[in-house]
Amino acid sequence: MKDIFLDLLFPDRCLDCSKIIESNLIVCNMCFEKIQFTHFDYFGENILKEICKTLFPVENAYALIQFEKESVSRKIIHELKYKNREKTGEILANWVTERIDFKNSKPDLIVSIPLHKKKLKERGYNQLHLFAETLSEFYNIPFDHKVILRSSYSKAQALKDKKHRLNTGNLFSMNKNISGKHVLLVDDVFTTGNTIATAAWEILKTGNNKVSVLVMAIDK
Cβ distance 186 to 196 under 8 Å?
no
Q: Is the pTM of this model over 0.95?
A: no
d(CA 136, CA 130): 10
DSSP string of 92-135, one letter each residue: HHHHHHTT---TT---SEEEEPPPPHHHHHHHSS-TTHHHHHHH
Helix axes 87-97, 72-82, angle to 10 degrees: 130
Q: Kindly list the domain boundaries of the chain, sorted by start residue.
A: 1-34, 35-218
Secondary structure class of 62 (helix, strand, coil): strand
pLDDT score for 76:
96
Q: Which CATH architecture has domain 35-218?
A: 3-Layer(aba) Sandwich (3.40)
pLDDT score for 167:
52
DSSP string of 143-190, one letter each residue: B-TTSEEE-S----GGGS-HHHHH---S-EEESS---S-EEEEEEEEE
Tell me the pairing of strands 61-66 and 148-150.
unpaired
Please state the φ and ψ torsions of residue 41, each to the nearest 5 degrees.
-100, 115
Residue 215 buriedness (CB in 10 A; 0-12 / 13-18 / 19+): buried
Please list the pLDDT of the chain residue by residue as tens digits (220 residues).
Answer: 444 443 444 578 999 999 999 988 999 999 999 999 999 999 999 999 999 999 999 999 999 999 988 899 999 999 999 988 899 999 999 999 999 999 889 999 999 999 988 988 888 999 999 999 999 999 999 999 999 999 876 655 544 454 444 555 579 999 999 999 999 999 999 999 999 999 999 999 988 999 999 999 999 8
- Say which amino acid occupies 122: E
pLDDT score for 103:
85
With a CB cutoff of 8 Å and minimum separation 6, the contacts of 4 are: none
Cβ distance 111 to 185 under 8 Å?
yes
d(CA 119, CA 83): 14
Tell me the pairing of strands 182-190 and 148-150.
unpaired
